[in-house]
Amino acid sequence: MPFAIYVLGLMIFSMTTSEFMVAGMISSLSEEFGVSVGAIGFLISAYAAGMIIGGPMLTVGLLKVPRKQAFLTMAFIFIIGQTLGALAYSYEVMLIARIITGISSSACFGVSLAICFNLVGPQSRGRAASIVLGGLMVATAIGLPAAIIFDQYFGWRSSFWAVVVLVLLSGLLGQLTIPTTPRPESVSIRNELGAFRNRNLWVAYATSMLIIGATFAAFSYFSPILTDLTGYAAGTVPLLLAIYGAATVIGNIVTGRLADRYMMFILTIGLVTLTVALVAFGLFAHNPIVAMIAVMVVGLAGVPMNPAMATRITRVAGTGSLVTTVHGSVISLGIVIGSSIGGLTIDAGFGLASPLWVGALLAILGLFSLIPYLLNKGSESKLSSHSAATGPSPNLRRPTFHRELDVYKSKECQ
């Protein structure tokens, strides 16, 4: 793997740490700005909203900019937002800062994947994606706990400044290691948008959203479930969450190695495993051993499906920046949907274990979303073998009969 891919992973790690760390310093921010805990929760939602809505819009504006320059531009905008957050003197300023960082983070997510896909051959894209997306897993396992420690010992502003330094370092390394590419004059917004006419792309997006939604419906409420239902001491929960984070890193390494060859197998087995783990957790939430095993299995099987998800998107619709950015937005939407529905079920009186059942239901729906592919096995790969190497082709918008006829003629010519 080119060293630049690891630099991209460092950037994702830095930005994702910023996304997650507010959840670990809610009390400090609530006291600082004199607002309720619920209001601080909106800072998390504001970041997610920026990722979902603003990221694709910013990407469209930068489509004709060379990807390296776009990457550095995103980093610069993120640093502005993060610095604004570190200096924030009021809740309103912090809210604006979170929106800015969310927008730039989403766009940088998509551009980073587009760059990494072009640095390696089609047969290595899953592994490359696992390294870049590994930044997300490491942010859960290391970035969030580190931000909490900074908050406890040096104040919450130090956590924000630490992220500023990391993003600045990632940008400087990116300037040195990411190859300079010519201006993509051939890229047109119409062609980029044309990829979204492919129904298989939306099915793939739906699967990704359901996988992440199922995982975060449970993960968002692990802490109260493990303390109030399972009976673990509050001091033990950070250790269990660290184990979860370590499991996601290990799972990501494994799926990254296998995603290029066994993409659909990983998605199918991963969703089955995730469903079983969440159902078992829901049935035996009071059993400490079952709960600990379930947390580990969710860590191994949930978010680590990301490399396979990313590989599927490239095979369906190519490696365009807008396609990959929207995929990042879909993943963020999955986080919002899963955690929101899980919280609503608790507020509705269904109990602390209800988010686990919400996660299991979303995972089952994820399995159902694979049925169109399984019924017409391999159709996505057949229709996108060209786009995976060169980007989305106008031919993908042609009727199925004509596409199959083209494939037949091609074989005859060979």
Residue 77: per-residue pLDDT: 93
Q: Evaluate whether 308 touches 126 at the Cβ level (below 8 Å).
A: yes
Per-residue pLDDT at 230 exceeds 80: yes
User: 214-226, pLDDT tens digit by residue?
Assistant: 998 888 788 788 8
Tokens 């986080």 map to which residue? 335
Per-residue pLDDT at 145 exceeds 60: yes
All domains in the chain, ordered by first residue: 1-177 (1.20.1250.20), 188-405 (1.20.1250.20)
408 pLDDT tier (thresholds 50, 70, 90): very low
Q: Evaluate whether 41 touches 29 at the Cβ level (below 8 Å).
A: no
Residue 53: per-residue pLDDT: 80
Residue 319: per-residue pLDDT: 61
- Cα–Cα distance, 303 to 133 (Å, whole number): 10
Q: Evaluate whether 91 touches 38 at the Cβ level (below 8 Å).
A: no
100 pLDDT tier (thresholds 50, 70, 90): very high
Tokens 């990407």 map to which residue? 59
pTM reported for the whole predicted model: 0.73
